[in-house]
Structure 1
Amino acid sequence: MKTVLIASLLLGLAAAASASEQSTCTAAKGTFLTGTVTSAPKFAAATQTIQGIKLSHTKLSLRADQDGKTYDVAIDNVFAIDYVKNASTVPASLAAIKVNDRLELCGAKYTSGVGIHWVHTNCGDVPTTSAPNGWVKRFSASGTVGSNIERSQTYCYLWN
């Protein structure tokens, strides 16, 4: 009985936190998703280079709590907190995401297909629905949400 009560309390706290996070995402002009990772992070080589910086991505799949759909998630590596310039591997912070982990995303849904991108800082620009001030956050085992893994502004100058 005590275990059930504690689990219920944790779920209630997570739901309240999620509502607040959803409001923050809406204010940042993003689409809010929470869900379970269904495919591990994979490196996607850059198709574009700006000022010698390769704009590679990390790709994974997430089954969303909101609608049960499986979303392709495209994460820009240059915004990862531990991005290594022009590396050909997934940044360690993103590689730490495993199948069955729980994530919280704020970003822009694909205009075609089922996916989400722009899950990173927008470098202080005024957010729009096509360029929100997004994020990728992992839930801990206790249900608390972590910090934004995609908050680095080191390469913001590429777009300014």
Structure 2
Amino acid sequence: MFALASTALASEQSLCSAAKGSFLTGTVTAAPKFAAATQTLQGIKLSHTKLSLRADQDGKVYDVAIDNVFAVDYVKNASSVPASLAAIKVNDRLELCGAKYTSGVGIHWVHTNCGDVPTTSAPNGWVKRFSASGSVGSNLERSQTYCYLWN
């Protein structure tokens, strides 16, 4: 069972590398919190969900910034965490692919890049939750509804 899980994670890590992202797995240490938008594009408030994750790779606690507009169940200009992200709890296990902060310990850009060619500063990232059985779920940050804001 462990060998199968390790093989699956190695495959996920390879997918993240191909998407030009940094790969982290770990345990949530601070629950999701809503962060109000500091920027608006074409009337769409670019709010975030923030949480903390202790990474398996290095034991550090990472600040995780998740763009709400890419959440599968984002409600336009809502003032709350999307339900799919609010369902993440302390001690849940997550898999992240994104761009690590250049200063401090954190990761962002954990969302689709809307079909653009991925780069290390704009990877084709994701947020995935592990189930109780250890299997990884689908990307919670895959919505492309608002990709037109950047195209």
Quickly name the TM-score band, shorter chain normalised.
Answer: over 0.9
Superposed displacement of residue 16, structure 1: 1.0
4+ runs of 1 displaced by more than 2 Å?
none
Q: Within 2, Cα distance between the matches of 1:81 and 1:13?
A: 28
Which deviations, in whole Å up to 9, do the C-alpha atoms of 1:95-138 show, x marking residues without a partner? 00000000000000000000000000000000000000000000
> Given the alignment of the two structures, is residue 153 of structure 1 paired with residue 150 of structure 2, yes or no?
no
Aligned length: 151
**Amino acid paired to 2:135:** T
**Within-5 A mapping of 1:1-160:** 9=1, 11-160=2-151
5+ residue gaps, structure 2, are none
TM-score scaled to structure 1, two decimals? 0.94
CA RMSD of aligned residues (A): 0.4
Instruction: State the structure with more CA Rg.
Output: 1
Higher helix share: 1
Aligned identity (percent) is: 89
Calculate the TM-score normalised by the size of structure 2: 0.99
Q: Where does structure 1 lack aligned partners over 5 or more consecutive residues?
A: 1-8
How far off is 1:15 after superposition?
1.2
Amino acid in the other structure paired with 2:100: K
